[in-house]
Amino acid sequence: MPATPRPAPVSARLQGATGPWELVIGLEVHAQVASNAKLFSGASTGFGAPPNSHVSLVDAAMPGMLPVINKECVAQAIRTGLGLKAQINLMSTFDRKNYFYPDLPQGYQISQFKQPVVGEGVVVLDMADGEIEVGIERLHLEQDAGKSLHDQHPDYSYVDLNRSGVALMEIVSKPDMRSAEEAKAYVTKLRTILRYLGTCDGDMEKGNLRADVNVSVRRPGEPFGTRCEIKNVNSIRFIGQAIEAEARRQIDIKEDGGAIVQETRLYDPNKGETRSMRSKEEAHDYRYFPDPDLLPLEFTQSYVDGLAKGLPELPDAKRARFIKDGLSPYDASVLVAEKANADFFELVAKDRDGKMSANWVINELFGRLNKEGLDVGASPMSAKQLGGIIDLIASGSISGKIAKDLFEIVWTEGGDPARLVEERGLKQVTDLGAIEKAVDDIIAANPDKVEQVKLKPTALGWFVGAVMKSTGGKANPAAVNEILKKKLGIV
């Protein structure tokens, strides 16, 4: 950690009864590795299967069974490390974390305690008042446990081992966050990176991404306070709420002259409070030691380099490219937040004006998707259709106003935008004779307005509107303007 930990922005301070407080937050994120098979067995990782249907002899810890590392999970961890600009350790080791629980058949979790596969890295966050960097302490591979089911039988608990042995990446941040907003931004950004890399689907509802949140408070300028760890928070919203609730609890204790006890806590989203799970004295002694069933995990730099070559463009790089292509930093950030959104945008923007494409994708399409509660994958309008609408505007075939109507038609009815324009006569009138006639008719019918506009040229707008109305909005507005000015003698 830095010698002088970054102070919280003044805006992020929490006001107590006796003055301001700063939060210090670090996160341990557990991300399920996207892989077909578990970390040490060939069993499937498929979600939603009947209980205990994805369980190998190894996962059930039958006598004499041995773990064999799944190389794809290792590759995913390395890819993630590269995405976090982190140190990749060519030699790492697996350790056993020993404790008893029925959803842990071996009686130990295979994890990496002493020598993780990935070392220090960094995640950059775009906050309202600028960029901040959150340090990554380490990333290691470990097995997930099974699941205890306490509601299946009045007297017994059941255990589902489908998750048992599934590969997790534990990504440990440095205590570099200073507000709930920053912590939420960190998890959001981390999830974006993982999804870009394809190393974790980031699905928090399925528990595929969850966080242990370490929170402490201090007076501005003071060293770190005693921290509490809030276990297993499974949504970004709850992470924010849990931090706020825990910080308030700690501030109240300190302001009442009490001391924070280091302990593990749980967040209850219904009550909006954290409660004690176990204290430091009750903490398990996990008796970590190197797993004698597994040789050290070793690979070459050229293997890492090969994986690096295969990495996709990551959000920070994509954002920079979008800005270079003329997008505003805000639009670029919105687009890269979800890889599927960025991909959709790039399809639309291909060979088209970037800024105009961004406007239509973000304001019209995403706005509409949001309203309907859909994500881009479920969009009724394809990139090709939206691109078609933009082409029609660019070529002057339709006006911006007609384009919005056309958007509505394509959204609800579907179809090829160009053909719709033809079939429904939406095409902008650029026939100057027709426009001239419409202009002449308006001028003839409104002599009083003609007098007004000669005194006050800004009244031209009324004529434009009238002509547009009389042509059903199809007249080319530029042509209307020009002809009106000429006929009315406005320079």
Partner 1 sequence: MTDLTSLTLAEARDGLAGKQFTALELTDAFLAAIEQANPSLNAYVAVTADQARAMARISGNTLAKGKGRALEGIPLGIKDLFATKGVHTQACSQVLDGFKPTYESTVTQNLWDAGAVMLGKLNMDEFAMGSSNETSYYGPVVNPWRASGKNADLVPGGSSGGSATAVAASLCLGATATDTGGSIRQPAALTGTVGIKPTYGRCSRWGVVAFASSLDQAGPIAKTVRDAAILLKAMASHDPKDTTSADLPVPDYEAALGKGIKGLKVGVPKEYRIDGMPAEIEKLWQQGIDWLKAAGATIHEVSLPHTKLALPAYYIVAPAEASSNLARYDGMRYGLRVPGKDLIETYEKSRAQGFGKEVKRRIIIGTYVLSAGYYDAYYLQAQKVRTLIKRDFDEAYQKVDVLLTPATPNAAFPLRSMSNDPIQMYLNDIFTVTVNMAGLPGIAVPAGLAPDGLPLGLQLIGKAFDEETLFRAAEVIEQAAGRFPVSNRWWTGAAPGKSRKTS
Q: Does position 159 bind partner 1 by CB under 8 A? A: yes
Q: Does position 105 bind partner 1 by CB under 8 A? A: yes
Which residue in the set 294, 320, 434, 460 belongs to the binding site for partner 1 (CB under 8 A)? 294
* Nearest approach, Cβ of residue 42 and partner 1 (Å): 10
Taking CB under 8 A as the binding criterion, the range among 99-107, 116-124, 323-331, 334-342 that sits at the site for partner 1 is 99-107
Which residue in the set 71, 222, 289, 431 belongs to the binding site for partner 1 (CB under 8 A)? 289
Question: Do 178 and 24 touch, CB atoms closer than 8 A?
Answer: yes
Taking CB under 8 A as the binding criterion, the range among 92-100, 271-279, 446-454, 463-471 that sits at the site for partner 1 is 92-100
Q: Does position 299 bind partner 1 by CB under 8 A? A: no
> What distance in Å separates the CA atoms of residue 170 and residue 111, rounded to the nearest whole number?
9
Q: Does position 323 bind partner 1 by CB under 8 A? A: no
> What distance in Å separates the CA atoms of residue 316 and residue 201, rounded to the nearest whole number?
19
Which residue in the set 1, 68, 374, 445 belongs to the binding site for partner 1 (CB under 8 A)? 68
Q: Where are the alpha helices (DSSP H) in 171-300?
A: 180-197, 236-255
Q: Does position 293 bind partner 1 by CB under 8 A? A: yes
Taking CB under 8 A as the binding criterion, the range among 57-65, 196-204, 305-313, 375-383 that sits at the site for partner 1 is 57-65
Which residue in the set 5, 6, 61, 326 belongs to the binding site for partner 1 (CB under 8 A)? 61
Q: Does position 91 bind partner 1 by CB under 8 A? A: no
| Cα 439 versus chain centre, distance | 52
Q: List, in sequence order, every residue forming a beta bridge with 401; answer none if it has no partner.
A: none
Find the Cα–Cα–Cα–Cα dihedral 444, 445, 447, 453, rounded to 10°.
-90
What is the per-residue burial (b if ≥16 Cβ within 10 Å, else e) of 125-135?
bbeeeeebebb
Q: Strand 228-233 to strand 263-268: parallel, antiparallel, or no bridges (unpaired)?
A: parallel
> What distance in Å separates the CA atoms of residue 231 and residue 29, rounded to the nearest whole number?
10
Which residue in the set 7, 102, 220, 465 belongs to the binding site for partner 1 (CB under 8 A)? 102
Which residue in the set 38, 79, 96, 227 belongs to the binding site for partner 1 (CB under 8 A)? 96
**What is the residue-wise DSSP string for 57-102?**
TTTTT-TT------HHHHHHHHHHHHHTTPPBPSEE--EEEE---T
Question: Do 407 and 389 touch, CB atoms closer than 8 A?
Answer: yes
Which residue in the set 1, 259, 295, 374 belongs to the binding site for partner 1 (CB under 8 A)? 295
* Nearest approach, Cβ of residue 104 and partner 1 (Å): 9
Q: Does position 69 bind partner 1 by CB under 8 A? A: yes
Would you state the structure tokens that stand for residue 297, as one six-digit string?
A: 């995990």
DSSP class of 49: P
Residue with tokens 């031209």: 460
Binding characters for partner 1, 106-145, by CB under 8 A (x = yes): xxx-------------------------------------
Would you state the structure tokens that stand for residue 90, as one six-digit string?
A: 């060519």
Residues that bind partner 1 (CB under 8 A): 57, 60-69, 96, 98, 100, 102, 105-108, 157, 159, 285, 287-289, 292-295
